[in-house]
Structure 1
């Protein structure tokens, strides 16, 4: 009975969070102090539900990870819904890709390949592979991830599609740690660029850049 109550409370946490995300995604279109207040209220609700569950008994490891993942996803304002991509080019279309540290003074094609290799290496190096062991997958899975490198070389607009909550949170955490780069160049000007990749996870992590035919939606 005790375990059943905890499961119901954890489910209520996810429901509250999902509804709050929906509300916040609308308000985020207009930057204001009320948006920040809304996010603070969401974190307070998450903490309140966590305290209620803890009062009934210790959280399982899976429940703790779920709560941490939800907090991680909601703690940053860098989703695609919060960044206008109308002026961003797709990676394959820019003349010179962003220049990752260590990829300087190369030809355009070498710079492109070096960029993809360095980003893939960074994600694989920073990813917490202990999460993969905990999932105990019978086979590898793939998930799409997107991010934008702005005209200033910073990353924003992170989005992960259709992944387990822990995997989504971990990919976003790693992308947020990506170092600043020299921005992409097109027609002699710095431009923001939309990058897309496939993260395959199972026994280990594999990263492959893909070229999407259209921009990811914000659903």
Structure 2
């Protein structure tokens, strides 16, 4: 059985959408960015459930750690194991928007394998509803980019002679 390690990196703000023919969901950049504000420049960041703070910096740190924990605990590595991927580090670029109601929408992913994209979209799409971000006192959509990085390790070889000796003792 392959051992896998899922590492979630910090949320990185981005204002650019990435469109690629054949991606999971196809939303044009103009549809995604109408009235939306990039995470890096939002006046009042969206608030993840359970996060508290007096500044955007505190709220961003809390949100980043909560999203990382959520993705780590919900990303189904058994699906990834079933793909029999070559041992190496894999990256998934996920982009999503938190809309004016605080719902995660327009989730898109790019990865080396379609099944990895599907799993990333599924997990991020299940993030809980948040308090929406605000610009000039008005709720707006906020664009996020989340890199997910995990490593596939080579299967461990088991010496059957040693195992047999251990079971006899």
Using the size of structure 1 for normalisation, the TM-score is 0.54
Equivalent residues in 2 for 1:1-219, closer than 5 Å? 79-81=26-28, 83-134=31-82, 135-203=84-152
More strand by share: 2
Q: Give the direction of change, closer, same or farther, for the CA distance of 1:99–1:187 in structure 2 (3 Å limit).
A: same
SS at match of 2:64: helix
Unpaired stretches in structure 1, ≥5 consecutive residues? 1-21, 26-72, 205-219
How far the C-alpha of 1:105 sits from its partner, in A, is: 4.3
| Pairwise CA RMSD | 2.4
- Determine the C-alpha separation between the residues in 2 that align with 1:175 and 1:136: 22
- Over 6 Å off, 4+ runs: none
How far the C-alpha of 1:111 sits from its partner, in A, is: 0.5
SS at match of 1:100: coil
More helix by share: 1
- Determine the C-alpha separation between the residues in 2 that align with 1:124 and 1:151: 26
Q: 2:11 corresponds to which residue? A: none
Say whether the 8 Å CA contact 1:81–1:157 is kept in structure 2.
no
Say whether the 8 Å CA contact 1:137–1:202 is kept in structure 2.
no
Q: 1:41 corresponds to which residue? A: none
- Determine the C-alpha separation between the residues in 2 that align with 1:136 and 1:84: 32
How far the C-alpha of 1:136 sits from its partner, in A, is: 3.7
Q: 1:3 corresponds to which residue? A: none
- Determine the C-alpha separation between the residues in 2 that align with 1:139 and 1:177: 27
Say whether the 8 Å CA contact 1:80–1:158 is kept in structure 2.
no
Unpaired stretches in structure 2, ≥5 consecutive residues? 1-20, 154-169
How far the C-alpha of 1:86 sits from its partner, in A, is: 2.3
